[in-house]
Chain A
């Protein structure tokens, strides 16, 4: 009986892998490598195309959204209940009152826009 041999099974279990024969890992073949690379490439292509398509759709949708926005209230005669009524209806009317005031200023009878030419109507030799 060999006394030196340790009876500790846990130690054996830990040292077990040291006695194992190293198994040489099989190197992948060149053809396998190229297949894998092409698969990776296709995967990236798909991702790129997908993202491009997604952005394209996003841009088109945003353009459509901008175009399909409702027209100005003056065209549609639509009143929004939440906003104060005066603000909505007095805008164009105020503008018209202002423009008419400007027109009235030009119609001032004391101010002639095209006065008689400042020429001497009595030019004479004598």
Chain B
């Protein structure tokens, strides 16, 4: 009799367990959808990782090519023979090809950084991305010209063409640098505001009246710091928008002081938020 009772009890518990596990599985279904979203956002990080490895390898290859170019160029200057001339021309061409490859990978990598960065206004991001893509195609074109063996005169022409291209590359890169710098700080600023609001909600009922008053004063001070940054961000972006007069490299450097001030204010606001939790 006892055995039968135990058996039935075990059966009941088994079915209740099964029902419970079914519920757990049913609750896990939305998590699969979430993981899809996470996957989509992480796809850039995988590209970035791969390109970073490729970039490092190519940079190493470039260093060797550049070293050889320097040695053979020096030899040609010392010897002045036809053999040393030929060797120096080939080494220069090789160094230029590898440099173009490094720059291409770098621009691709920078594009992914730009696309994955939040806090940048979409039109500015799109323009900067298109600019990077145009630059990329110009570098590819330059690399194509270097595939065939060139003589001394053709090499001179290729070097001259690259001097113009190098300015285009620098402008595109510094344009992205400026956007990334603003975007990173803007993201932290936005997150700090959300965090502060969450803290206000969660700390509203904690502690006594005395603490409430103290906490409110601290929140007001944090608000003041965070709100003052809005005008700083506007100033930084205004310089960036009116950049038709000066180069983007100049914009990046002039903006650096402004962004450093924003950085220190944000740092101060985060310290305030940390302190607020201890009140």
List residues of A whose CB falls within 8 A of some B CB.
46, 49-50, 53-54, 56-57, 60-61, 63-64, 67, 85-86, 89-90, 93-94, 96-97, 100-101, 103-104, 106-110, 112-114, 116-126
In the bound assembly, the distance between CA atoms of A117 and B188 in angstroms comes to 27
Report A67 CB to chain B, min CB distance, Å: 6
- A125 and B263 contacting across the interface, CB-CB below 8 Å: no
- A124 and B206 contacting across the interface, CB-CB below 8 Å: no
Chain B residues near A121 (CB, 8 Å)?
162, 166
What 0/1 readout, one digit per residue, does chain B (43-71) give for beta carbons within 8 Å of chain A? 00000000000010001001000100100
Report B135 CB to chain A, min CB distance, Å: 13
Supply 18 A–B pairs (Cβ within 8 Å), ascending by A. A53-B6, A53-B10, A56-B6, A57-B10, A60-B13, A85-B206, A86-B206, A90-B277, A93-B199, A100-B188, A104-B267, A107-B184, A109-B181, A120-B95, A123-B66, A123-B96, A123-B159, A124-B159
Known: A53-B6, A93-B195, A97-B273. A119 touches B267 (CB 8 A): no
Chain B residue nearest to A106 (CB atoms) is B184
Chain A residue nearest to B258 (CB atoms) is A109
Chain B residues near A101 (CB, 8 Å)?
267, 270, 274
8 extra interface residue pairs, beta carbon distance < 8 Å, beyond A123-B159, A124-B156: A54-B6, A61-B13, A93-B195, A97-B277, A100-B191, A103-B184, A109-B255, A119-B66
How many A-B pairs have beta carbons closer than 8 Å: the answer is 137
* Choice from B10, B92, B270 contacting A100 with Cβ under 8 Å: B270
- A109 and B259 contacting across the interface, CB-CB below 8 Å: yes
Chain A residue nearest to B89 (CB atoms) is A125
- B263 and A94 contacting across the interface, CB-CB below 8 Å: no
- A126 and B206 contacting across the interface, CB-CB below 8 Å: no
Chain B residue nearest to A105 (CB atoms) is B267
In the bound assembly, the distance between CA atoms of A117 and B216 in angstroms comes to 49
Q: Is B170 positioned at the interface, with any CB of A under 8 Å from its CB?
A: yes
- 8 Å CB interface, B1-32 against A: 2-3, 6-7, 9-10, 13-14, 16-17, 20
- A96 and B195 contacting across the interface, CB-CB below 8 Å: yes
Report B20 CB to chain A, min CB distance, Å: 6
- A125 and B92 contacting across the interface, CB-CB below 8 Å: yes
In the bound assembly, the distance between CA atoms of A113 and B89 in angstroms comes to 35
Known: A60-B17, A110-B260. A93 touches B207 (CB 8 A): no
- B95 and A123 contacting across the interface, CB-CB below 8 Å: yes
Chain A residues near B156 (CB, 8 Å)?
124-126
* Choice from B6, B262, B277 contacting A50 with Cβ under 8 Å: B6
Report A24 CB to chain B, min CB distance, Å: 42
Chain A residues near B170 (CB, 8 Å)?
116
Q: Which 4 pairs from chain A and chain B are nearest by CB?
A: A53-B6, A107-B184, A109-B259, A121-B166
Chain B residue nearest to A109 (CB atoms) is B259
- B7 and A53 contacting across the interface, CB-CB below 8 Å: yes
Q: Is B256 positioned at the interface, with any CB of A under 8 Å from its CB?
A: yes
* Choice from A54, A63, A103, A110 contacting B17 with Cβ under 8 Å: A63
